[in-house]
Chains A and B, each alone.
Chain A
Amino acid sequence: MNLLLKSNKMKGIEEILYDKKIDIEQIKAPEDIEERLFNALDSVKVIKTKSKINYKIAAAVILLVLLVGYSHDTLAYFGEKIIGYDNIQSGSLDSLNNNGMGQKINKSYKFSDGTIVTLDGIIYDDKNLYTLYSERNEYKEIDGNEIGSDTINIIGYIEYKNSTSIGEITNNKKQINNIMKFTAPAFYERKLTFSICRNVNGKIETGNISFVLDRSKAIKRSLNKNINKTVNLNGHEINFKTISVSPLGIEVKGTIESSIYNIIHHNNEQYNVSFDVVADDKVISNIESGSRTNASLKGIGRTFYSDFSGISSFKKLQLSNIILNETKYYNSSEKYFNLNSNTVNKKIDFDGTSFEVEKVYIDGDSTCVQMIRGKSAEIIGAGFFINGQEVHSEYKDLEELNNDKVRVLWRIYGKGEDIKFKIRGINYISKYDNKIDVK
């Protein structure tokens, strides 16, 4: 552990992380785990409909999407026309493939267990690079547990990590074709290495495939433009600053202002912005808050990016369905609301938002609290206390009502004459009804 301690600041972060360990250790397996395990083995030969492991399913197309911080819409593939990737290509990039865009590599590496990795080609623009590669072994079937377990990087003067991938196991289960996304190599890169690190029979083996970037094959941007539009939602300013579009993806940069103020005064807020990108009146992507943030005096900068769903040509481009999810936490609040079986139509005002407890009733060994909330204000992390002890509860939405309200129900696992109710967090949803014209 001490090897990683370089400074006091880093030690502080480690202490915070170790504090979380104490919380994690409080987590106990639920009581029905035994029943679940028995049920699972009862049907051991049956392919479960909810099973996420598809390697057992013959001739199935398996989609593997590893997303980190990005949303994605339609997966698209493009490059030189390479046989075998047809099932995992779609969207606007399909036309690029048909036009032979991309750079063919066609180099292989053979691992000691007979697995051959072939880098068929690459396609890239100034922001991202996609590799099309296959893994095959004539002597054994693809093990579903192995999928996604390889460590793959592109190495130049610096190392480029992958962030997203999609793959397909072929009919004979002896080959998997993949498309994997990386950050685009820096402008000065020319010679690159596609490096695969695999566990081969218990030992780690690394295979390298070198290639030279042909910059003439890079995909050009469709649009680079300033947007400079501001949307006000629930007291926050969301500034859409720039947009950059290529067939490979769409990037929107902006800021959310008043975040600094809220961090100081509320200290516990989280934001998530999502919106649609509409080209020629058709939604081509839904994008959510990006993972890249940088704080400044003007607010928290965000980069929103759509994976695999770019566009090459369009006449009109708009941003629509802009939604702000703002989650506030009140764990340090000492405000409680008293409830009992006689509670009927009780109004609760909390941080400027009103809720109504319609009724409280006993149902078997549980107590039910039926409430009406606004559609745009969802209570999260509610706490119910009976005789000073917090009890477990479950929440569900019952029905939507006409006036932008929702009827909801909490089932508290316990009974008592005096119940205290505490609100730990509220998620506020604000929507901007208009569209922003980009082009």
Chain B
Amino acid sequence: MQEVDLIINAQKGDKEALIEYILKRKDEYYRLAYVYVKNQEDALDALQEMIVILFENIRKLKNVDSFVTWSKTILVNCCKNILKKKNKIILVDSYKDKEFIDKYKCIDQSIDIENALESLNFKQREAIKLKYYLGYDYETIAQITKTPVGTVKSRISYGLKLLKKVMKIAEISKNYAK
């Protein structure tokens, strides 16, 4: 069945159609959630909450073509709610997540950049991760985060400058000690 048909059927109340649609892109949705919450359980929780909201509101969706962006916006909000409720400060302790650690073969560079990202505020970090980790363009990031494209660019630009500064400081520290 075509994806558009799945959405139309979901709008008529077909739960399985909605689930089938999400499962066709399950890795895409899961990665988006994982980038925010950084662990499997919370990512799955966010996906569960997302699908409930989607099913309850899908009849209001006028433009079927915008389903993907709309659903990802909802997923991002679900992730943010989970982070808020858990008072989740993304500290370096999050590296304890085994799956997160196992994914990175080049630990040196990964830990440095992840630590440096913590120096940014949430919105800068969010924009940078959506762009570089998930490959979203500015327009998509703007739609998902409900921010003007100019603001997205500004957050990324400012965030990169700050990252450069933080990593440079770390490099100077290393070089000096040598």
Contact = CB atoms under 8 A, between A and B. Distances in A.
A293 B153 CA distance: 25
Interface residues of B, number: 87
Contacts of A148: 77, 80, 84
A141 interface: no
A268 B107 contact: yes
Nearest to A50: B45
A29 B30 contact: yes
Interface in B52-100: 52-53, 55-56, 73-74, 77-78, 80-82, 84-85, 87-89, 91-93, 95-96, 98
Interface in A18-41: 18-21, 23-30, 32-34, 36-41
Nearest to B66: A202
A288 interface: yes
B174 A263 contact: yes
B92 A17 contact: no
Interface string B150-178: 01010011001101101111101110111
Chain A binding surface SS class: mixed
Nearest to B46: A52
Contacts of A7: 164
B135 to A, nearest CB: 6
Contacts of A67: 87-89
A268 B128 contact: no
A297 B173 CA distance: 7
Interface string B1-32: 00000000000000100110011001101110
B27 A29 contact: yes
Contacts of B22: 37
Contact of A10 (B85, B98, B164): B164
Contacts of A342: none
A242 interface: no
Chain B binding surface SS class: helix
A261 to B, nearest CB: 6
B53 A41 contact: no
B9 to A, nearest CB: 14
A72 B89 CA distance: 10
A37 B113 contact: no
Interface string A26-68: 1111101110111111001000101111000000000011111
A252 B109 CA distance: 30
A329 interface: yes
Contact of A151 (B109, B151, B153, B173): B151
B113 A28 contact: no
Nearest to A424: B101
Nearest to A70: B89
A382 B81 contact: no
Interface string A380-418: 111100000010010100000000000000000000000
A24 to B, nearest CB: 5
Given A21-B133, A40-B49, A41-B55, A380 B78 contact: no
A147 to B, nearest CB: 8
B49 A52 contact: yes
B160 A291 contact: no
A197 interface: yes
Given A52-B85, A264-B178, A40 B48 contact: yes
Nearest to A393: B98
A297 B176 contact: yes
Given A17-B132, A23-B103, A270 B95 contact: yes
A13 interface: yes
Contact of B146 (A40, A149, A271, A395): A149
A37 B19 contact: yes
Contacts of B49: 40, 48, 51-53
Contact of A295 (B29, B30, B93, B169): B169
Contacts of B108: 267-268, 331-332
B115 interface: yes
The 6 closest A-B pairs by CB, nearest first: A331-B107, A17-B132, A29-B30, A381-B101, A40-B48, A270-B92
27 contacts: A13-B167, A16-B109, A20-B113, A20-B132, A23-B105, A24-B31, A28-B30, A30-B40, A33-B30, A40-B47, A52-B84, A53-B81, A69-B118, A71-B89, A145-B53, A145-B73, A148-B77, A259-B173, A264-B177, A270-B115, A293-B119, A294-B169, A295-B173, A300-B173, A327-B96, A331-B108, A382-B98
Interface of A: 3-4, 7, 9-10, 13-14, 16-21, 23-30, 32-34, 36-41, 44, 48, 50-53, 64-72, 145, 148-149, 151, 161, 163, 197, 199, 204, 259-261, 263-264, 267-268, 270-272, 288-289, 291-295, 297, 300, 325, 327, 329, 331-332, 378, 380-383, 390, 393, 395, 424-425, 427
